[in-house]
Amino acid sequence: MADLKNCSIAWNPPAQEWIKLNVDGSRNPVLGTIAAGGVIRDHRKKWLSGFALNKGTDSVNEAEVWGIFEGLKLVWKEGHKKVVVESDSQNVVLLLTKTSSINHPLLSIIQACKDMIACDWSCHILHAYRETNRVDDGLACLGHSLDLGITIFKGPPSQIIGVLEDDFKGTSFARRVPIL
């Protein structure tokens, strides 16, 4: 077993002229429902827009991929040309940045995301620790209580104001990480 150390991490804004899309997927294990949420912010940590998505029932990976797809569509529609996308699902980040199996059950939505990524813009897909994705986690949880489909938020919903304020203040959260 690897040795672990405590590490303090916080949400980091993108570089100037870039925006950051943080996305999270969620699955309610009791109901089997899936949802996703995402937030778009600029280098000053300013909320630009956000969304919550209720997708019905399926896997958490499907929720993550659909969240990224809907987030990319929203970023594109808003006209941003430099975007960093962060997801706490390392598996989904690999699905979107590597060659996918032709037999993968999510191939069509994975390919739709890859097509969006390849559009005329600078778009980077990165993994981020769950502790840095607390706002989008809150939006994803909110998605379970909404009607099927996507809900766009021009301003932050009241349910996530506290975690949004933590991000704005640069509040750090502990995480145990392997010592390399």
**Using one digit for the tens of pLDDT, what is the confidence trace for 131-170?**
777 899 999 999 999 999 999 999 999 999 998 888 777 7
Report d(CA 18, CA 180) in Å as an integer: 31
Report d(CA 81, CA 84) in Å as an integer: 10
Among 24, 113, 115, 97, residue whose Cα is nearest residue 63: 24
Structural domains of the chain, count: 1
Sheet with 19-27, strands from edge to edge, namely 122-127, 82-87, 19-27, 33-42, 47-57, 149-153
Task: Name the pLDDT band for 3 (thresholds 50, 70, 90).
Answer: low
Which residue range(s) make up the domain with 141?
4-178
Strands (E), the chain: 4-9, 19-27, 33-42, 47-57, 82-87, 122-127, 149-153, 173-178
pLDDT tens readout for residues 80-120: 999 999 999 999 999 999 987 788 899 999 999 999 999 99
CATH code of the domain covering residue 89: 3.30.420.10
pLDDT of residue 175: 54
Q: For the residues 127-134, what does the mean pLDDT come to?
A: 83
pTM of the model: 0.88
Task: Name the pLDDT band for 123 (thresholds 50, 70, 90).
Answer: very high
What is the 8-class DSSP label of residue 99? P
For residue 153, CA distances in Å to 39, 160, 169 come to 9, 12, 22
> To which residue do tokens 């390392």 refer?
90
CB-based contacts of 76: which residues, under 8 Å, 6+ apart?
A: 116, 119, 121
